[in-house]
Amino acid sequence: MSLQLVESFTEFKEFKNIDRATMMRVLEDVFRTMIRRKYGSDDNFDVIVNTDNGDLEIYRNREIVDMGEVEDPNKEINIEDAKLLEDDFEIGEEAIEEIDLATFGRRTILTARQTLLSKVLELEKDEFYKKYKDRVGEIVSGEVYQIWKNEIMILDDEGNELILPIREMIPRDFFKKGDTVRAVILRVEMYNSNPKVILSRTAPDFLERLFELEVPEILDGLITVKKIVREPGERAKVAVESYDDRIDPVGACVGMKGSRIHGIVRELKNENIDVINFTSNIQLLIQRSLSPAKVSTISINDETGKADVFLPADQVSLAIGKRGHNIKLAGKLVGYNIDVYRETNEEENLDVDLNEFADEIDNWIIDELKAIGLDTAKSVLEMSNEDLIARSELEEETIDEIKKILEAEFEQ
């Protein structure tokens, strides 16, 4: 029976996230419960547990009384029985007796072992939950241990199981068993009474933590990351600000010849990162957020939350960006719905808005053309069929038909 307890302690020593003091407390609580069931009270018992080697000692303290005066056998012992323990005991003293585990019986000890296992497992879950609950938003690294269809299991340095769902991975991420992965702790939740740590590589917090690792000025508080918006794996915009005029926040984040940002870009699978200088001037912030496009004028309507941006014809596609990522992220960064328009001169005033062709061209086609910055007839005609096919969902036959309709308008 003692051997089984020793084996139990050996198992318990392998548990993670539980410190020695907590383990001692749990073990003592279990054995005191065992004592109360047998003796009714544990007030006069001392329980000594050694988690290193599995030693367990239980001592009962009883007052020595004269023969026939024992009222509570658990707390009192007559003088003759006391002298069997130590022959120099006297009435009024306290007799200390070591309790043999065998007196509890095999079944009781096996029950105690199961109770210990249950309590320690429950305690480990609680400690694991608390440990990671306080670390939400931090970066962790671990080794890929198991790959499933919808998620990957990662083991941290202590062997804790962390989950990286496929939806929280960058589209170009590809990992195999044994690979080291970095991600941010997105959330910690309880699932069927078990703590579950969810990681993310697509969250803005992941990019912010990477900047903190690469840019000491951010960690020191000299530069502040005001806002981050991302299209994971495609493009990100990071607004930064410095309260020290001597520090260029954008230059510090990019580093000499891009030395600081290159590591972040590689980690994010070549995600294009625009670092811009934050300002409370909304018009200036919109202009910076649409970089690399050069903006001419901006009209803002605070009531509708809309911003109309006018640019030279050759800058419209730059403002919109590949698959509309640039303008979409700029809108999220500044908090306005941004619409871009081509500047017009006298010659261009002869142009015709695409909306005027709504009776001849389907609305979805007009919307498709506007999505890539083509809002007039001439802008469509000036673009080659190859470019239109590459930048839109339109087929060549459809494009030919559209151009015939538009050319007919100018011929008239």
Q: How many Å separate Cα 320 from the centre of its chain?
A: 30
CA distances 245 to 137, 223, 278, 290, 379, Å, are 29, 11, 13, 24, 44
Strand partners, 276: 239
DSSP string for 324-384: GHHHHHHHHHHTSEEEEEE---TTGGG--BGGGGTTTS-HHHHHHHHHTT--BHHHHHTS-
Is-contact 166 150, C-beta < 8 A? yes
Number of neighbouring beta carbons within 10 Å of residue 362: 12
Identify the DSSP state of 205.
H
Question: What interhelical angle do 396-411 and 363-371 show, nearest 10?
Answer: 90
Q: pLDDT at position 101, please?
A: 77
Taking the C-alpha atoms of residue 343 and residue 315, their distance in angstroms, rounded to an integer, is 10
Is-contact 361 265, C-beta < 8 A? no
Helix (H), strand (E) at residue 104 = none
Helix (H, G, I), strand (E, B) or coil at 323: helix
Q: pLDDT at position 240, please?
A: 94
Helix (H), strand (E) at residue 14 = none
Taking the C-alpha atoms of residue 342 and residue 330, their distance in angstroms, rounded to an integer, is 18
Q: pLDDT at position 1, please?
A: 47
Is-contact 39 108, C-beta < 8 A? no
Q: pLDDT at position 3, please?
A: 46
Strand partners, 180: 143
User: What's the first-to-final CA gap in the chain, in angstroms?
Assistant: 104
DSSP string for 71-101: S-TTTEEEHHHHHHH-TT--TTSEEEEEPPG
Taking the C-alpha atoms of residue 392 and residue 401, their distance in angstroms, rounded to an integer, is 15
Look-up of token digits 């004028």: 297
Q: Rg (Cα) of the chain, in Å, rounded?
A: 37
Taking the C-alpha atoms of residue 170 and residue 273, their distance in angstroms, rounded to an integer, is 14
Predicted confidence pLDDT, tens digits, the chain (412 residues)? 444 554 555 555 555 556 667 777 777 888 888 888 888 888 888 888 765 655 678 888 998 888 888 888 888 889 888 888 888 888 888 888 888 877 877 787 788 778 877 877 887 788 888 888 889 999 999 999 999 999 999 998 888 899 999 999 999 999 999 999 999 999 998 887 788 999 999 999 999 999 999 999 998 889 999 999 999 989 999 999 998 888 899 999 998 888 899 999 999 999 999 999 999 999 999 999 998 888 888 999 888 889 999 988 778 888 888 888 899 999 999 999 999 888 765 454 567 788 878 878 888 888 888 888 888 888 888 888 888 888 888 888 889 998 988 888 776 5
Give the neighbor-by-neighbor strand order of the sheet with 306-311. 297-301, 306-311, 337-342
Q: pLDDT at position 371, please?
A: 84
pTM over 0.85: no
Taking the C-alpha atoms of residue 298 and residue 259, their distance in angstroms, rounded to an integer, is 34
Q: pLDDT at position 14, please?
A: 55
Q: pLDDT at position 276, please?
A: 93
Tokens at 33, concatenated: 């419960």
Residues near 274 by beta carbon (within 8 Å), at least 6 away in sequence: 235, 236, 237, 238, 289, 291
Taking the C-alpha atoms of residue 191 and residue 200, their distance in angstroms, rounded to an integer, is 18
Alpha-carbon torsion angle 275, 280, 282, 288, nearest 10: -20
**Amino acid found at 113:** R
Taking the C-alpha atoms of residue 355 and residue 342, their distance in angstroms, rounded to an integer, is 15
Taking the C-alpha atoms of residue 13 and residue 20, their distance in angstroms, rounded to an integer, is 9
Q: pLDDT at position 344, please?
A: 62
Angle among Cα 134, 260, 272 to the nearest 5 degrees reads 85
Tokens at 409, concatenated: 């308008």
Q: pLDDT at position 200, please?
A: 96
For the chain, list the domains and their CATH numbers: 2-131 (3.30.1480.10), 135-200 (2.40.50.140), 348-411 (1.10.150)
Tokens at 153, concatenated: 């299991």
**Amino acid found at 257:** K
